[in-house]
A = this chain, B = another copy of it.
């Protein structure tokens, strides 16, 4: 167990946005939520996964919905209290801790803010090691953890406890409720025992996010290129460098879908990179090559500052470096690829690891 204060939150916010692959919400919002909570309730206890008892009850918490909407509807923490109490009644057990379900600007930090409000610790791990747009796209689900009972709640005071026969039904029902409830809701989901958390989680996600943030800051302080330092630390690849020349996005079905076009600069001069996203970046390609595909991580970093740019932060004229990071091995299994690989999202490619694509010469 260690305590998380404001400085740690600053770094986590940066790292979370990077692992968030363009989605998971605005890191500024997540940061402000967590900092306000720390100011009011004191530092937050971060538990290592190995510190959990096998029969502890852990309930991940998250915002669900289009990140563009999420920005305008910051949860107060009250709805989380209500949701957790409702879930404790259903489970007939006390909840011992919360944790993030995914890495992302809001969804890595929301559990910290809610935990502070509720007097609970946060578990250092998550269910994706990145962000994904749908509820069943979590390592918990890959490991057979039930998505429900889950609780959705909104800032108006409406809430619902959902029980479904599988994760796809949970996603369908919750997504439709999210839209009716104003486009984004707070979610308490995948209740687990400590044993299940140990078996089914990505470990040390918050610590990794903090390290990413610190690496970027230290590189800047040392006048080194933050992008290079981060890639070295994560074992990632520089896929494309350029200037954003076109960005088209639309909100439908509770998601933000779109494409960004990046015009090459430096050694990518004369080329174009096409970035397809559904909340998160899912596919990066040029006119001739696929550079990286889901479930591997695709993130755009500001070429100069090294800071991650979310899909809603993509602006015409911004200079960005597209990076690719190998996904956790849990995602590269057949089941992981079935659930979150390119074909699930409608891209007609067999999943090929980013390191293979780069070895083939994608990284010109």
Q: Which residues of B contact A176 (CB under 8 A)?
A: 176-177, 179-180
Known contacts A90-B89, A176-B177; is A162 also within 8 Å of B163 by CB?
no
This chain: how many copies in the complex?
A: 2
A residues 138-168 in Cβ contact with B at 8 Å: 156-165
A residues 108-131 in Cβ contact with B at 8 Å: none
29 of the cross-chain contacts (CB-CB < 8 Å) are A86-B163, A89-B89, A89-B90, A156-B165, A156-B169, A157-B164, A157-B165, A158-B162, A158-B163, A158-B164, A158-B165, A158-B169, A158-B173, A159-B162, A159-B163, A160-B160, A160-B162, A160-B163, A160-B173, A161-B161, A172-B180, A173-B177, A173-B180, A173-B181, A176-B176, A176-B177, A176-B179, A176-B180, A177-B177
Complexed CA–CA distance, A169 and B159 (Å): 10
Q: Which 3 A-B pairs have the closest CB atoms?
A: A161-B161, A157-B165, A176-B180
In addition to A158-B163, A176-B176, 19 A-B residue pairs with Cβ atoms within 8 Å of each other are A89-B90, A156-B169, A157-B164, A157-B165, A158-B162, A158-B164, A158-B165, A158-B169, A159-B162, A159-B164, A160-B160, A160-B161, A160-B162, A172-B180, A173-B180, A176-B177, A176-B179, A176-B180, A177-B177
Q: How far is the CB of A290 from chain B (nearest CB, A)?
A: 34
Chain A, interface residues (CB within 8 Å), range: 20 to 34
Q: How far is the CB of A32 from chain B (nearest CB, A)?
A: 26
Complexed CA–CA distance, A251 and B81 (Å): 39
Task: Kindly name the residue among A89, A172, A176 whose own CB sees the greatest number of chain B CB atoms within 10 A.
Answer: A176
Q: Which residues of B contact A159 (CB under 8 A)?
A: 162-164
Closest to A165 in B: B157
Complexed CA–CA distance, A165 and B177 (Å): 15
Q: How far is the CB of A164 from chain B (nearest CB, A)?
A: 4
Q: How far is the CB of A137 from chain B (nearest CB, A)?
A: 19
